Amino acid sequence: MAKEKKEKHFVQPPVYPGGPKAMKEFISKNLRYPKKALQEKVEGMVALKYAIDHKGEVVDTKIVSGLGSGCDEEAARLVRSLKFRVPKQKRPGKVVFHKNIKIHFRLPKQKPKEQSQQLQYNITPTPPAKDKPAPDKEGGSYTYTISF
């Protein structure tokens, strides 16, 4: 007779659909760097504590350590937009789960400004063949300048 395997946790914690990798993707896609932080060139990490209710929604966020310049508010907005999946609990009751997260703010890499390139083509007409009559007007040379 096989013995039943006991679950590791008495109360099952909420899980982000797709796991931690999907949560990191969601955060990186939806993170909007605050304009003030860009102007002041603020980089760093914002640490937050947040609470997840029995429905899987984030109901409370608290900044543990912040950066200022709008980064704290953006991190809190981002965490509040997360939706978790809460497994069905064996015992009745509404449990609130508390988790921590760190959101990194890194300035976007600046692309070096490329100098405008100019290509120059010279087109010179070839002299007419000896057996063909010469055109009425002499051809000149043309210069085309193309800038990128």
Tens-digit pLDDT profile for residues 74-103:
999 999 999 999 888 777 778 889 999 999
Residues 24 and 88 placed together within one structural domain of the fold: yes
> Does one domain contain both 91 and 137?
no
Distance of alpha carbon 139 from alpha carbon 127, whole angstroms: 9
* Of 30, 26, 16, 71, the residue nearest 48 (C-alpha): 71
Does 3 fall in a domain?
no
Residue 62 pLDDT? 93
Q: Are residues 134 and 93 in the same domain?
A: no
Which tokens sit at 141? 């040379």
Inform me whether the pLDDT recorded for 128 exceeds 60: no
Name the amino acid, one letter, at 128.
Answer: P
Q: Are residues 50 and 87 in the same domain?
A: yes
> What is the Cα–Cα distance from 29 to 95, expressed in whole angstroms?
30
Give the model confidence (pLDDT) of 4-55 as tens digits. 666 666 778 888 998 889 999 999 899 888 888 888 888 889 999 999 998 8
Least confident of 49-53, 103-107, 121-125: 121-125
Q: Is residue 54 part of a domain?
A: yes
How many domains does the chain fold into?
2
Domain that holds residue 134: 118-147
pLDDT given at position 129: 58
Q: At residue 116, does pLDDT exceed 70?
A: no
